[in-house]
Amino acid sequence: MLFHYHFWTPYVEETEKFYLENGFRISQRIGKYNGDFQAFNPPLTWDDFREKKILFRIIEARKGAVNITFGFGKKIMFDHIGLLVSEEEQGDICENATKMNWEVDKGERRTFIATPYNFRIELQTYENAVDSFNHQEKIQGLKLTTIKGGLESDLFSLFGNSAFNISSEVGEVVTIKKAVIKNLNTSPIVDPNGVEITSDQGF
């Protein structure tokens, strides 16, 4: 199940505000301050720490079965998408990635696969990565922009018969062009990083 995407962005506060205004909750904020990584989680608000010039590594916004994260970057940069899979599915996908000569970085909690399309794929097996595994709000599909073609064919080889509804078009910048989120009340909308979010399944 598609559940997640991550961006680096100079618009960290604006991105948090956008998702809050569209029904998401902020579950955590981790940032580097005075040389150490520290938590600035709710109920703290930006008024409590805005002047501290924190370099946020991750801010996590959740709604139903959707988990969106972002951290500070000097420019907008799409980093990865995330899939919630069973341990068996994870093993099969990693085996397929190895056959494709895609680098697999297997961690204790999550695994990352590096694609030749300049973004990564996270495989997550812990259902507590989302607020509600069976919630009505969920990512139904993503449309990516990539700098070369062939993504759909490679993803079919990677995932096998699993249908994660990821499509692409060739463009100048690797990013998410559109995210289809089921049962989102306000749509279509565009986040500060250029992701169009809609509940319309049509790409």
Could you tell me if 198 and 141 are in contact, meaning their C-beta atoms sit under 8 angstroms apart? no
Residue 196, pLDDT above cutoff 80: yes
Mean pLDDT of the 12-23 span? 96
pLDDT of residue 136: 77
Reported pTM:
0.92
Q: Which long-range contacts (CB under 8 A, 24 or more apart) does 124-128 make?
A: 124/3, 124/4, 124/82, 124/83, 124/84, 124/85, 125/84, 125/85, 125/86, 125/87, 125/90, 127/84
**Residue 134 binned pLDDT confidence (cut-offs 50, 70, 90):** low
* Calpha distance 68→159 (Å, rounded): 22
Among 28-42, 164-178, 185-199, which stretch is predicted with the lowest mean pLDDT? 185-199
Amino acid at the residue 187: S
Mean pLDDT of the 3-29 span? 96
Q: 10 preceded by cis ω (within 30°)?
A: no
Kindly report the number of other CB atoms within 10 A of residue 10's CB atom.
Answer: 15
pLDDT of residue 127: 87
pLDDT in tens, 117-130: 999 999 999 888 88
**Residue 135 binned pLDDT confidence (cut-offs 50, 70, 90):** low
pLDDT in tens, 158-189: 998 666 789 999 999 999 999 999 877 766 89
